[in-house]
């Protein structure tokens, strides 16, 4: 690792802070996306489809 | 034009008939003026220096206080829906609403300002500058407030949302308002701040009716 | 009508509305997620390598210039995301396009996060450079106001139960905010010039190529990160709306079925 000089603590904490916020943001987007897909899948398993999806199997398939 | 005046007249009549809300707001405005010296301390010089800022904050907060009732009653009893079919456009009605909102909420505060000026030991030139700044700046506050009220009109728990949304947008008004009121000793910044304040008010009052009518149309669909 | 939130029988008029139809969007956007993730990771790897191992300390700022490599990209994104929301707001108001609503909603929390990073890293840069975490400097104050506006928008989205009605009302507010941002920026700078002698200045700082390179690559990396997350978030929002609509339909159908059954039972 290179020498960050006398202000290393500021540099490291800003990188760590930015990383944490980014990580939380990515985790939130990811779980939200998974949750919504899972809800749609559950509904489809119960036999509830969107009317238009029956004629367009390629979109219906995609949420699997 | 007649319909325009009728809308304003109706709002004023309603406000006079159930004047409780305007009175509450006025008491709130004066209460801030009473509370501030207690928090800051009775030092004459400090209070006089801070007086314009205190009056502006009191004016800003008390205009935000009365926001939620601006369109909600009209929305609930269906007046808003029937105004869609009025002989004048919803945009002109929104403009009329801004004017009546200013008359009902901002004007009483400005009239009560002398009371605060005495409690805060303001000098006469400072007081006159503050009153002028309030007269120039409150139309913009009323216009922004009406936008906030139009946005939150259908929200059941919208009472707090409008102030939160409007507060950041009101920052320029606060900045120029306090500067205009502060530099009363004929400084150059005073006149330029007054001009900016007037410009912001003109812009806000000119553009707000369009935003309000768009939001109201979306809300009534 | 709520059930028609995603009109699926629209006849696409041109290539753009064909691609922007929510169902079609779900189809093509799926193929972009993985390449975008890949590109984001690559550019972060290159950018961070440059930022830490292949760039010299600035002759004025010293090593703290490395904070700039995350601060500047996020400050840029804070404004770009709002512009994207404002453009989507126009799309939502003028063409009433459901995808524009979705783009607007999906961007707001991301913009808030990027603005938060910009403020946080700015404070940490300010301490060693200016000797203070916070200064009521024009640029910092207007970024803080922008952050408050993002939070207000996120709060506003959460208070609307009818999201398609909410979308157009929120679009109005987003545009009002967009008109106000330059006014706020100007007034805050004027106010700052009035109250403070300008000790602080970000002008006059040198920008040699060795510092430009990591800055540009990191800006690209963070922008790619935003585009990836925005795409995934938009898809999630479309899924959420579809699931909500289906659940509502299901409840209605069930109620109708049980009402019919009850009716039969009473007749017997």
Considering its fold, how many domains does chain A have in total?
Answer: 1
The answer to whether position A44 is within a domain reads: yes
Q: Give B-chain residues touching C165 at CB under 8 angstroms.
A: 154, 218-219, 221
Q: Which residues of B fall within a CB distance of 8 Å from C184?
A: 168-169, 171-172
What percent of chain B shows pLDDT beyond 90? 29
Q: Does A10 touch chain C (CB under 8 A)?
A: yes
**Cβ A33–C66 below 8 Å, yes or no?**
no
Residue ranges in B102-187 assigned as alpha helix (H): 107-119, 124-151, 161-169, 171-182
- Shortest distance between the Cα of B192 and any Cα of chain C, in A, equals 11
- For every residue of C41-54, DSSP letters joined together read HHHHHHHHHHHHHS
> What kind and span of H or E run contains C28?
helix C22-53
Residues 51-110 of B with CB under 8 A from C: none
Residue A52 confidence (pLDDT) above 70: no
A31 in C contact zone (CB under 8 Å):
no
d(CA C176, CA C167): 14
Per-residue model confidence (pLDDT) at position C184: 85
For residue B219, list chain C residues with Cβ-Cβ distance below 8 A: 165, 169
Higher pLDDT, C170 or C197: C170
pLDDT score of A27 more than 60: yes
How do residues C178-225 score in pLDDT, each as one tens digit? 988 888 888 888 887 766 554 445 554 556 777 788 889 999 999 999
Say whether C168 and B218 touch across the interface (CB within 8 A): yes
CB contact under 8 A, C243 and A43: yes
pLDDT at C136 over 50: yes
pLDDT at C139 over 50: yes
Which is higher by pLDDT, C115 or C246?
C115
Distance from CA of C161 to the nearest CA of B (A): 9
Task: Tell me: pLDDT of C171 over 50.
Answer: yes
Q: Is chain C touching chain A, with at least 3 CB–CB pairs below 8 Å?
A: yes
pLDDT higher than 80, residue C5: no
Q: Which of A33, A40, A43, A52 to mutate to test the interface with C (most CBs of C within 10 A)?
A: A33
Percent of chain C residues topping a pLDDT of 70: 84
Q: Rounded mean pLDDT of C236-249?
A: 88
Q: What is the mean pLDDT of chain C?
A: 83
Is the pLDDT assigned to residue C99 strictly greater than 80?
A: yes
Residue numbers of the domain that contains A46: 23-64
Q: Is residue A8 part of a domain?
A: no
Grade residue C264 by pLDDT with cuts at 50, 70 and 90: low
Please judge whether C64 and A7 are an interchain contact, meaning their C-beta atoms are less than 8 angstroms apart: yes
Task: State the best of C82, C158, C183, C186 to mutate against chain B, taking most chain B CBs within 10 Å.
Answer: C183
**Which one of B147, B161, B219 has the shortest CB-CB distance to C159?**
B161
| Upper half-sphere CA count for residue A10 (Cβ side, 13 Å) | 26
| pLDDT at res. A55 | 46
- C81/C112 Cα distance (integer angstroms): 9
**Which has the minimum average pLDDT: B163-172, C44-53, C130-139?**
C130-139
Q: Report chain A residues whose CB lies below 8 A from the CB of C247.
A: 43
3-class secondary structure, C62: strand
Contact C117, A14 (CB under 8 A): no
User: Which residue ranges make up each domain of chain C?
Assistant: 33-195+209-252
* C239: region left, alpha or beta (phi > 0 left; psi from -120 to 50 alpha): alpha
For chain B, 221 residues long, give each residue's pLDDT as a single digit of tens: 777 888 888 888 888 887 777 888 899 999 998 898 899 888 888 888 889 999 999 999 988 887 877 887 778 777 777 777 777 888 888 999 899 999 988 999 999 999 998 888 888 888 888 998 999 999 999 999 999 989 888 887 666 788 888 899 999 999 888 888 876 655 555 678 888 899 999 999 999 999 999 998 888 77
Q: Does residue C173 register a pLDDT over 50?
A: yes
- Nearest-Cα distance to chain A for C248, in Å, is 11
In a domain, A30, yes or no: yes
- In A, which residues are within 8 Å of C125 by CB distance? 10, 14
Of C51, C9, C25, the residue nearest C217 (C-alpha):
C51
Closest CA to B204 of C89, C83, C184, C88: C184
- The ipTM is 0.85
Mean pLDDT of C56-63: 72
Residues of C in contact with B214 (CB under 8 A): 93, 168, 172
Q: Do the Cβ atoms of C63 and A11 come within 8 Å?
A: yes
Taking CB atoms and an 8 Å limit, are C120 and A59 in contact across chains? no
pLDDT score for C268: 42
> Has residue A17 been placed in a domain?
no
CA distance A5 to chain C (A): 6
pLDDT recorded at residue B159: 66
- In the predicted model, is pLDDT for residue A29 greater than 80? yes
Nearest CA in chain C to A23: C113
Coil vs helix vs strand at C88: helix
Q: Do C63 and A17 touch (CB under 8 A)?
A: no
């Amino acid at each position: 690792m290179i020498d960050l000089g006398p202000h290393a603590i500021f540099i490291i904490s800003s990188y760590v802070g930015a990383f944490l916020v980014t990580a939380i943001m990515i985790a939130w987007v990811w779980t939200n996306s998974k949750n919504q897909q899972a809800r749609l899948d559950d509904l489809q398993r119960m036999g509830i489809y969107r009317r238009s999806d029956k004629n367009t199997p390629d979109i219906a398939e995609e949420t699997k | 034009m007649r319909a325009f005046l009728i809308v304003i007249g109706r709002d004023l009549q309603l406000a006079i008939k159930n004047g409780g809300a305007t009175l509450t707001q006025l008491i709130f405005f004066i209460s801030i003026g009473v509370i501030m010296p207690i928090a800051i301390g009775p030092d004459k010089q400090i209070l006089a220096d801070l007086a314009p800022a205190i009056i502006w904050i009191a004016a800003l907060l008390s205009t935000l206080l009365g926001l939620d009732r601006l369109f909600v009653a009209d929305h609930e009893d269906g007046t808003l829906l029937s105004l869609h079919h009025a002989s004048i456009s919803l945009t002109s009605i929104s403009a009329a609403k801004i004017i009546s909102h200013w008359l009902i909420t901002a004007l009483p505060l400005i009239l009560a300002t002398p009371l605060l000026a005495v409690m805060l030991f303001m000098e006469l030139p400072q007081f006159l500058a503050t009153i002028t700044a309030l007269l120039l700046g409150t139309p913009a506050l009323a216009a922004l407030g009406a936008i906030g009220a139009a946005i939150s009109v259908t929200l059941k728990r919208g009472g707090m949302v409008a102030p939160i949304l409007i507060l950041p947008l009101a920052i320029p008004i606060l900045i120029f308002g306090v500067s205009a009121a502060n530099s009363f000793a004929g400084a150059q910044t005073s006149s330029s701040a007054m001009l900016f304040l007037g410009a912001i008010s003109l812009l806000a009052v000119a553009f707000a009716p369009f935003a309000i009518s768009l939001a109201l149309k979306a809300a009534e669909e | 009508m709520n059930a028609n939130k995603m009109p699926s029988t629209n006849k696409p008029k041109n290539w753009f509305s064909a691609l922007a139809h929510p169902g079609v969007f779900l189809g093509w956007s799926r193929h972009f997620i993985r390449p975008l993730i890949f590109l984001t990771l690559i550019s972060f790897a290159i950018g961070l390598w440059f930022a830490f191992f292949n760039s010299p300390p600035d002759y004025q700022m010293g090593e703290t210039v490395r904070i700039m490599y995350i601060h500047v990209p996020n400050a840029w994104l804070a404004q770009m995301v709002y512009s994207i929301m404002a453009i989507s707001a126009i799309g939502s108001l003028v063409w009433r396009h459901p995808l524009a609503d979705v783009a607007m909603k999906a961007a707001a929390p991301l913009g808030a996060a990027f603005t938060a990073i910009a403020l946080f890293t700015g404070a940490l840069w300010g301490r060693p450079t200016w000797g203070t975490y916070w200064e009521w400097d024009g640029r910092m104050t207007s970024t803080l106001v922008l952050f408050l506006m993002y939070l207000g928008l996120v709060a506003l989205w959460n208070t609307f139960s009818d999201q398609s009605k909410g979308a157009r009302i929120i679009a109005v507010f987003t545009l009002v905010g967009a008109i106000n941002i330059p006014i706020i920026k100007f007034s805050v700078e004027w106010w700052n010039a009035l109250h403070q002698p300008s000790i602080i200045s970000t002008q006059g700082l040198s920008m040699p190529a060795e510092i430009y390179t990591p800055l540009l690559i990191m800006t690209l990396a963070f922008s790619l990160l935003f585009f990836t997350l925005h795409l995934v978030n938009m898809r999630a929002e479309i899924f959420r709306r579809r699931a909500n609509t289906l659940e509502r339909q299901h409840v209605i159908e069930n109620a109708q079925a049980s009402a019919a059954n009850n009716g039969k039972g009473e007749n017997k």
